[in-house]
Structure 1
């Protein structure tokens, strides 16, 4: 359980991009309930007055521009003065480790995070070596800026803070929470497009429903994200249920 308010600083060239993000949804709830407090640091305010530019050409030539070191360093120091010198500094870039649910849970243990949003072709490497604790990516693709990645991280963190969502326990059963995808979900009406709700869900037998959901969770992972199964140690019960799902699936596919 998180007893203290979590603080997250965001260093961005365009902090105004976050205005809608913090006005709606789960991030807004976390802020309103005072579980989360955000601080924004505008890179533009740290630009050298004589240069009046945030980026410059890379040494050695090549395409594109690089965010200059001084505005980023000044922003980091300014944030640390407010948030504390022990703030964990994360740089959001395509070269970072791929974000997953376990990573988000680890972030929750931090009292203060400082997110540095990448832009253009990146930031000066010396900043990464001297000021950045960890590099993180939200996937193997390129975005125009790190602000979108920061929004993803904020949302993922906010929804896991106890007390923010109406039903916190539901987040413990989300896809990836235990290394597996979630089971299928159904609601009214009973029939849609000729397809009925699985009869076990109408049985009222909670034990059978629990077993069905566990089997489906294993099966959906096997069908959609089989690489996840290689990362976890399946119990004898799980291996049995997965084998049962595979037999049923192959029988239906004939």
Structure 2
């Protein structure tokens, strides 16, 4: 998996790629990343990448030339251009399903904006998709790009020690994850549920599924509308709602 990140502040990514799971993925060559300062592609003698907006208004707008040149330089030898993603509060909300879909690509190009925004021609003629990590505004797209890459990288085969970890995460199944416990079995009188100590895998799986349903119903009932549920689970949820 390769990421090309277009940013005015490549130094922001140094810690991200030099620690924890990200570093391990890079060391094992499971993931490759290039950080491109698109100021290097400015044709202005002052290396300007932004200008005042036509029609007036506050702030500065990123010019199209540097970003088009940067993407074209990155992809000039590729037969099929990889998807170009813009980090933007106007974009499609980023979800686990979107992360799973993007992880099936072998290469992605991420654009990190700054200032007032992008020239509209970048959106219309360079970008394939706009991604938003939430209904709020950041000073730049770098943090959003890290969030997107983190969620995708952990889905790359071999990155996590246990491949099942990603499959059981919250949202991967359409539900929130079930409660987890580890040693000691009794901590200050708070005991691990007996079923988890039973060694009975079928009962444990059944308990975990029910806990996921209960937690989702309690905290994110909106997820249940599109979750893949059995008829029995839907009947159980209906009964729980009527009892409450």
Same fold (TM over 0.5): yes
Tell whether the 8 Å contact from 1:27 to 1:154 is kept in structure 2 after alignment.
no
Label 1:244 to 1:33 Cα distance change in 2 as closer, same or farther (>3 A).
farther
CA offset digits 1:153-177 (Å, max 9, x no partner): 1111111111111101121111111
Count of residue pairs the alignment pairs up: 244
Extract unaligned runs of 5+ from structure 1.
1-5
How many Å apart are 1:53 and its aligned residue?
2.2
Residue in structure 1 matched with residue 149 of structure 2 by the alignment: 154
Residue in structure 2 matched with residue 12 of structure 1 by the alignment: 7
Tell whether the 8 Å contact from 1:222 to 1:229 is kept in structure 2 after alignment.
yes
- Cα separation, 2, equivalents of 1:117 and 1:24: 21
Q: What's the secondary structure of 1:19's corresponding residue?
A: helix
- Cα separation, 2, equivalents of 1:28 and 1:82: 28
Extract unaligned runs of 5+ from structure 2.
none
Which of 62, 70, 73 matches 2:68? 73
Residue in structure 2 matched with residue 3 of structure 1 by the alignment: none
TM-score with structure 1 setting the length:
0.88
CA offset digits 1:224-247 (Å, max 9, x no partner): 111111123421232245457668
Tell whether the 8 Å contact from 1:218 to 1:241 is kept in structure 2 after alignment.
no
Residue in structure 1 matched with residue 125 of structure 2 by the alignment: 130
How many Å apart are 1:113 and its aligned residue?
0.8
Pair 1:178 & 2:173 matched: yes
How many Å apart are 1:79 and its aligned residue?
1.5
How many Å apart are 1:82 and its aligned residue?
5.5
Which of 127, 136, 140 matches 1:145? 140
- Cα separation, 2, equivalents of 1:245 and 1:188: 32
Pair 1:108 & 2:103 matched: yes
How many Å apart are 1:76 and its aligned residue?
1.2
Which of 29, 32, 36 matches 2:24? 29
Which of 90, 95, 111 matches 2:90? 95
Residue in structure 1 matched with residue 230 of structure 2 by the alignment: 235
What do you get for the CA RMSD once the two structures are aligned?
2.0
Label 1:210 to 1:246 Cα distance change in 2 as closer, same or farther (>3 A).
farther
